[in-house]
C-alpha cells in the first residue's frame, strides 16, 4: 500500500503541463471527490493494517500537499509566461541604439592637440580656479592692467585674489614651476571672462596655449611651427601672416592671420573682404616671464601662442554663432559625426 503512494508521489513530482486544461485534468485525476486517486486512497485507509496506519497516513498527507503545490506552481508559471508573450514580440528585429557624437569643441581640440603632439609637444593642464599670481603677476601683467579689473575677470575672493582664469597662459606658469627646459607643451582648457554673451563672445570658452622653451629658440621656429599647424588644420593651400601686436608676456608679440579658407583669400563676407582671418596671438616669451619663473633668460629663449578653440571650430565649419556650442541642440551637435 505504502509503495503505491510512493509511486504516485514520484509521478506528481515529474508532472509538467503547458496548458490550462492539462492542469485541470491533473487536478481531477488526483483530487476529484468522485474517483480521484487521493479520495480513493483515503477510502482505502480503513483496510490498512493498524501497524502501518501511521506511516501510510503521513505519506498520504504528503501526496495531497504535493499535488496542490504542483497545481499552484504550474498555474503561476503559465500565467507569467502568458504576460510576457503578450507584451514582447521576440521575433521583432532589434532596434539600433542611437550613438551620440563628440561635441565639436572636443573634436576641434583633439584635432589641434594631435597636430602639436606630432611635433613633439606634450599636453599639460592647470586649474580653472586660479590665483592672481598664475594668471597675471607671473605673466608680467602690470598692476594697473585692465584685465585685472572686475569688469573683465570673475573674482571668487579678494585679498588674496582667487579668480577664474581668463586665459590658459596661466598653465605656462604652472609648467615652468614644475619642469626644467627644454619645455614643449600645449595646454587646452576652459577659460572665463566677464563678457556679455553674443554671437561672437561668451563668458565661458576654450583656449589652447602653446609653450616652447629651449636654447636657441627663435621667431623663425615660431613662424614655422604655426605655419605647419595652419596647413594641417585648414589645408595645404593655407597662407599665414603675422601682424605686430602687444601681450604683456611676450616680446615681440604678434597676431596671426590665415588666408580665408572660405574664399581662398579673394574676399568674402566671412573675412570682411580682407582675405584674412585672425586666429591666434603669439610671441617670444618675455625674459621677465622666464626670470620670474626661475629660468635663466641669458641661456634660454622661447615662444608662446594662444588660440580660441571656438574660433577655430567656427572658421573650420563655417559656424556663424558661438552660442550654438553651448545650447546642446541635437540638430546642431549631430552634424559632427
Which residues contribute to the site for ligand DAH (CB under 6 A)? 167, 169, 209, 247, 250, 281-283, 304-306
- Which residue, 37 or 304, has its beta carbon nearer to ligand DAH? 304
Whether residue 44 has a cis bond before it, omega within 30° of 0: no
- Which residue, 167 or 174, has its beta carbon nearer to ligand DAH? 167
Beta bridge partners of 214: 301
CB 184 within 8 A of CB 121: yes
CB 176 within 8 A of CB 293: yes
- Which residue, 56 or 209, has its beta carbon nearer to ligand DAH? 209
Residue 270 C-beta: closest distance to ligand DAH, Å: 21
- Which residue, 170 or 259, has its beta carbon nearer to ligand DAH? 170
Q: Which three cell numbers stand for residue 42?
A: 483515503
Residue 127 C-beta: closest distance to ligand DAH, Å: 16
CB 276 within 8 A of CB 257: yes
- Residue nearest ligand DAH by beta-carbon distance: 306
Residue 98 C-beta: closest distance to ligand DAH, Å: 37
In the chain, beta strands by DSSP E: 122-123, 129-131, 155-157, 162-164, 183-192, 204-214, 240-247, 250-259, 276-285, 301-308
Residue 136 C-beta: closest distance to ligand DAH, Å: 11
Separation in Å, CA 231 to CA 59, 211, 225, 228: 91, 20, 10, 5
* Helix ranges restricted to H, 88-161: 104-118, 132-135
- Which residue, 8 or 132, has its beta carbon nearer to ligand DAH? 132
Residue 140 C-beta: closest distance to ligand DAH, Å: 11
Amino acid at each position: 500500500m505504502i509503495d503505491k503512494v510512493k509511486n504516485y508521489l514520484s509521478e506528481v513530482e515529474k508532472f509538467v503541463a503547458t496548458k490550462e486544461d492539462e492542469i485541470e485534468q491533473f487536478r481531477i485525476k488526483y483530487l476529484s471527490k468522485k474517483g480521484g486517486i487521493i479520495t480513493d486512497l483515503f477510502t482505502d485507509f480503513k483496510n490498512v493494517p493498524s501497524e502501518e496506519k501511521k506511516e501510510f497516513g503521513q505519506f498520504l498527507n504528503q501526496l495531497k500537499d504535493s499535488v496542490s503545490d504542483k497545481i499552484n506552481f504550474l498555474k503561476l508559471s503559465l500565467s507569467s509566461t502568458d504576460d510576457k508573450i503578450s507584451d514582447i514580440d521576440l521575433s521583432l528585429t532589434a532596434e539600433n541604439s542611437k550613438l551620440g557624437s563628440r561635441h565639436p569643441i572636443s573634436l576641434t581640440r583633439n584635432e589641434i592637440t594631435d597636430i602639436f603632439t606630432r611635433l613633439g609637444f606634450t599636453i599639460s593642464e592647470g586649474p580653472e580656479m586660479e590665483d592672481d599670481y598664475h594668471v597675471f603677476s607671473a605673466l608680467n601683467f602690470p598692476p594697473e592692467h585692465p584685465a585685472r579689473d572686475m569688469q573683465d575677470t570673475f573674482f571668487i575672493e579678494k585679498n588674496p585674489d582667487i579668480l577664474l582664469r581668463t586665459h590658459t597662459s596661466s598653465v605656462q606658469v604652472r609648467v615652468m614651476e614644475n619642469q626644467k627646459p627644454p619645455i614643449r607643451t600645449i595646454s587646452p582648457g576652459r577659460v572665463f571672462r566677464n563678457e556679455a554673451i553674443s554671437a561672437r563672445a561668451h563668458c565661458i570658452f576654450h583656449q589652447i596655449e602653446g609653450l616652447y622653451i629651449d636654447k636657441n629658440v627663435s621667431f623663425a621656429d615660431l613662424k614655422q611651427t604655426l605655419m605647419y599647424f595652419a596647413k594641417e588644420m585648414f589645408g595645404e593651400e593655407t597662407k599665414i601672416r603675422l601682424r605686430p601686436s602687444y601681450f604683456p608676456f611676450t616680446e615681440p608679440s604678434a597676431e596671426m592671420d590665415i588666408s580665408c579658407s572660405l574664399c581662398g583669400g579673394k574676399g568674402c563676407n566671412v573675412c570682411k573682404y580682407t582675405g584674412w582671418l585672425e586666429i591666434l596671438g603669439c610671441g617670444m616669451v618675455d625674459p621677465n616671464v622666464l626670470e620670474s619663473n626661475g629660468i635663466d633668460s641669458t641661456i634660454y629663449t622661447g615662444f608662446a601662442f594662444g588660440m580660441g578653440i571656438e574660433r577655430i571650430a567656427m572658421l573650420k565649419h563655417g559656424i556663424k554663432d558661438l552660442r550654438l556650442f553651448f545650447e546642446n541642440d541635437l540638430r546642431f551637435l549631430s552634424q559632427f559625426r
